[in-house]
Structure 1
Amino acid sequence: MQKNNVVTVTIEDIGVNGEGIGKVDGYTLFIKDAMIGDVIEAKVMKAKKHYGYARLQKILTSSEARVKTPACPMARKCGGCQIQEMKYSAQLAFKEGKVCGNLERIGGVPTELLDEIMEPVVGMERGETAEVAAAADTEKAGAADYQPFCYRNKAQFPIGTDKEGHVIAGFYAGRTHNIISNTDCILGVPVNKEILECILAFMEEYKILSYNEEKHTGLVRHVLIRYGFTTDEIMVCLILNGEELPYAEVLVERLRKIPGMTSITVNVNRAKTNVIMGDKIKLLWGQTFITDYIGNVKYQISPLSFYQVNPVQTKKLYELALDYADLTGEETVWDLYCGIGTISLFLAQKAKQVYGVEIVPQAIDDAKNNAKINGIKNAEFYVGKAEEVLPDYYKEYAKTHNGEKAHADVIVVDPPRKGCEESLLQTIVDMQPERVVYVSCDSATLARDVKFLREKGYELAKVRAVDQFPHTVHVETAVLLQRKNM
């Protein structure tokens, strides 16, 4: 295969970044915007020995899974929605297959076991979010089934300047830092558009410069917006390459007129980095947090808090984890990578005692505060790396209890994409919990860790995918592992 070859390809799979995958005479091509079932004409842009990258030129035969017209006109340009052009029922089938395939291929889980224990993927249902009318209209979207939009309670918009010198907000094009101007992302809540247009007009009027990433000049880098789905409270935080926002009182006066506005802050980030947020928060108006609920548990959320972006599906995910934990009120539970205590506080309602571990000190402060405002007294939280805190606790317990081993009835883990370190997994095995509930945002590392635990005396009992991020390739998974009688 050579660069600039034009080839006909049948798309057979989707890659980790949402690109279509097909083969021509055994040679693998990755093609953005192509979908499983498409037959396309593509131009090879980069050719390596065993695989290459091509650009979609023409759809010769459209996949049955493809919508006629994506609801968002920016769908192909923007890097956010990798599979918005796929019908939602097909997205769910793809994600369930992805989880199953990784557990089978990487985790070594037998097909017949997965057929027995895999539960249907949990998708979003009509009416669960405040969909904009045009996007929710399946006929306009060209879909044969429901398409969920407006599900994100958080959005971070980079601020830049276009070629005409106008200040813009939007999202980065795929694999670049080029901003696609768009104040009306249909994954976010409709009020985002009003907030962004207010800020952009203010910046134009008072000649406030956007940040230039290459030159490390300008002031406004990003705008963070959070929305409480249950409370309707709104947070706006401007991330600055500086300490102060000129004429801040003018912007505050305009933003506070928006119904639900609760918190207006600035975040200082003067570092030359791709990291969006700095450590310092300055209050301009209102309070430094908003509140929201998952189920009947109340949370205070600051600009720096980690909080799941899809509250509708988060409730389903946490209820699933609670169901898998199968608590009776007598159990000691460890929740590793607990964040601001979201899962911990769910578990504490049914457990005897919960211990949460998280590396970010502010998150632990938030977790303790969230326990307090909910009147939950059977949850304790520790700052540190889970892969250090739990093994150290296990060793120290034996020293102070005449060699007796520390025990947990249930251990819940919700690690980052890299999964759990082997030392942590070994400590989990040593503590001999009856059940391990593993919540994962990456089914590949989940499968790797499941393989380790299965080899150490645990068997996979339940698996279920939860679609936290419709129109993207990402999927959350919850699994239950039970200790075998050794």
Structure 2
Amino acid sequence: MHCGYFDNGICRSCTLMGTPYDVQVAGKLAHARELLSPWPDADWLAPMLSRPSQFRNRAKMVVGGTAGNPTLGILDAAREGVDLTGCGILAPGLRAAFAPIAAFIARARITPYHVPTRRGELKNVLLTEAPDGALMLRFVLRSTEPLGRIRKHLPTLLADLPALAVVTVNLLPEHKAVLEGEEEIMLVGETLRMRLDGIVLHLRPASFFQTNSDIAPGLYRQARDWIDEVDARSVWDLYCGVGGFALHAAAPGRSVHGVEVSDPAVQSARLSAAEAGLPDVTFSTGDATRLDAADSPDAVIVNPPRRGLGDRLCATLDASGVSTIVYSSCNALTLARDIAALPAYALKRVRLFDMFPQTEHYEIMVLLTRR
């Protein structure tokens, strides 16, 4: 894949842009194999590959320019807006939505936030696309000042962009380098329905979801297959998010329980389980790192943030009666560190999932069994 933004030095976010895709994947495999070389007996499965372009289901666009002529993209070195609405890694549905959104910003006269002077209102536009094309749109504002105009002109936006299923305003009053604030004002809908392999996951505005809708089902299927292989009757899904792994691991005679620190994500997961008719799949709000493994399940699925599991949870799992751990990681460095902190387990299988083409990042999943 080639990108004019990259070639012209406008955006360098995709550090491997222009590198042949097979070379990208080979480099990621080499990196993962080096990090996991202390466990040479592991069986490496064939990697799951992605489309090299148009794969990303979420756009995080910084708003610049003026109310009459806004830009959606990034900020340059002078902190001025640069348009990236033609970004080739974004799904076509996202790119098609940018023109109606920009027209709406102009119509509602929402002044973009100007970082150098700390003036203006609209900081970011966050857009997510479901596999069926439905969209979630979030306007990140400094205050509620434009809210009345947004409500007034929203019917026109909905008519221009009928794929919109959820529209919100997020408030970020502080001047700091984050994408969103803590307060969300719902304007249209509540959850974006992400249908994967026949299972509907309900995504709320601030909930985490994998950025590649083609690779995410592959992750869930692989975890399910390994859980089925060991015939686990009870499973914990730690850092469960909106319940993707837990819901896919459901099976007759098997109890699955997910734990997640975000209560909105837990509410979404419970809704998905109820709609799917899965009474044996339950969820609770809690800190996975403070888990008490006194009543250990047969298997545990973990999908932690980049920082990994940490010493406390590794120690708890290592001392538990859990027979099988399926560990999905977006950071092979912390994965390797955590495996080393689990000496009671043997690394049996490894599979790389190319969640993020055109970058050095990847997802990796391992199967650990108690020695």
Partner of 1:325: 227
Change (3 A) 1:309 1:361: same
In structure 2, what is the Cα distance between the partners aligned to 1:159 and 1:257?
A: 20
| Equivalent residue pairs, number | 367
Aligned to 1:142: none
- Contact 1:150–1:189, Cα closer than 8 Å, also in 2: yes
The answer for the alignment partner of 1:100 in structure 2 is 33
Q: Distance in 2 between matches of 1:167 and 1:445?
A: 40
Q: 1:207 to 1:258 in 2, by over 3 A?
A: closer
Q: Do 1:198 and 1:255's aligned partners in 2 also have CA atoms closer than 8 Å?
A: no
Relative to 1, partners in 2 of residues 1:197 and 1:429: Cα closer, same or farther, differing over 3 Å?
A: same
Q: Is the 8 A contact 2:64 2:75 kept in 1?
A: no
The residue matched to 1:247 in structure 2 has which SS?
helix
Q: How far apart are residue 476 of structure 1 and its match?
A: 0.3
Give the Cα–Cα distance (whole angstroms) in 1 for the partners of residues 133 and 70 of structure 2.
28
| Match in the other structure for 1:85 | 18
Query: Is 266-275 or 216-225 further displaced after alignment?
Result: 266-275
What secondary structure sits across from 2:47 in the alignment? Answer: strand
Deviation (angstroms), 1:177: 5.8
Deviation sequence 1:302-345 (CA, Å, 0-9, x none):
22121111111011111111122235765111111111111111
Matches within 5 A, 1:461-480: 461-480=348-367
- Describe how 1:312-351 pairs up with structure 2 within 5 A: 312-326=214-228, 331-349=233-251
Summarize the Cα distance change of 1:380–1:227 in structure 2 as closer, same or farther, 3 Å threshold: same
List runs of 5+ in structure 1 lacking aligned partners.
1-69, 126-147, 398-405
Q: 2:39 maps to what in 1?
A: 109
TM-score, normalised to structure 1, is 0.71
Is 2:54–2:89's contact at 8 Å kept on the other side of the alignment?
A: yes
Which AA in structure 2 matches 1:435? T
Q: CA deviation at 1:234?
A: 1.6
Q: Quick check: which has more Rg, 1 or 2?
A: 1
Aligned residue runs from structure 1 range 12-91, under 5 A: 70-75=1-6, 76-91=9-24
Q: How far 1:270 moved relative to its partner? A: 1.3
| Cα distance, 1:183 vs structure 2 | 1.1
Instruction: Report how far residue 87 of structure 1 moved.
Output: 0.7
Pair 459,270 (structure 1): closer, same or farther in 2 beyond 3 Å: same
Give how far 1:222 is off: 0.8
Residue matched to 1:38 = none
In the TM superposition, 1:299-310 aligns within 5 A as 299-310=201-212
Match of 1:423 in 2: 312
**Partner amino acid, structure 2, of 1:258:** L
Give the structure 2 partner of residue 403 of structure 1. none
**Counterpart of 1:199 in 2: which secondary structure?**
helix
Given that 2:94 and 2:129 are in contact with CA atoms closer than 8 Å, whether structure 1 keeps it comes out as: no
Structure 1 Cα separation of the partners of residues 299 and 121 of structure 2: 48
Q: Which runs of 5+ in 2 are unaligned?
A: none
Change (3 A) 1:177 1:407: farther
Q: Which of 168, 180, 201 is the equivalent residue of 2:71?
A: 168
Give distance in 2, aligned partners of 1:429 and 1:265.
43
1:121 equivalent to 2:54? Answer no
After TM superposition, give the deviation of residue 246 of structure 1 in Å. 4.7
> Match for residue 483 of structure 1?
370
Please show how residues 211-226 of structure 1 align to structure 2 within 5 Å: 211-226=113-128
Q: Matches of 1:350 and 1:337 in 2, distance apart?
A: 23
Classify the secondary structure of the residue corresponding to 1:310.
Answer: coil
Residue 93 (structure 1) shift: 0.7
Residue 323 of structure 2 corresponds to 434
RMSD of equivalent CA atoms: 2.3
**C-alpha separation in 1, matches of 2:279 and 2:311:** 32
Aligned: 1:284 with 2:187: yes
Does 1 or 2 have the higher relative contact order (CA < 8 Å, sep 6+)? 2
Please say if residues 223 and 237 of structure 1, whose CA atoms lie closer than 8 Å, have aligned partners that are also in contact.
Answer: yes
Cα separation, 1, equivalents of 2:154 and 2:202: 24
Q: Which amino acid aligns with 1:160?
A: G
Q: Which amino acid in the other structure matches residue 233 of structure 1?
A: A
How many Å separate the matches in 1 of 2:58 and 2:252?
A: 29
Task: Say yes or no: does 1:376 pair with 2:307.
Answer: no
**TM-aligned CA distance change 1:178 to 1:323, over 3 Å:** farther
CA–CA distance in structure 2, aligned partners of residues 216 and 196 of structure 1: 24
> 2:339 — aligned with what?
450
Q: Provide closer, same or farther for how the CA distance between residues 172 and 294 of structure 1 changes in structure 2, counting only shifts above 3 A.
A: farther
Shift of 1:264: 2.2
Could you say which residue in structure 2 is the equivalent of 1:155? 59
CA displacement at 1:240 relative to structure 2: 1.0
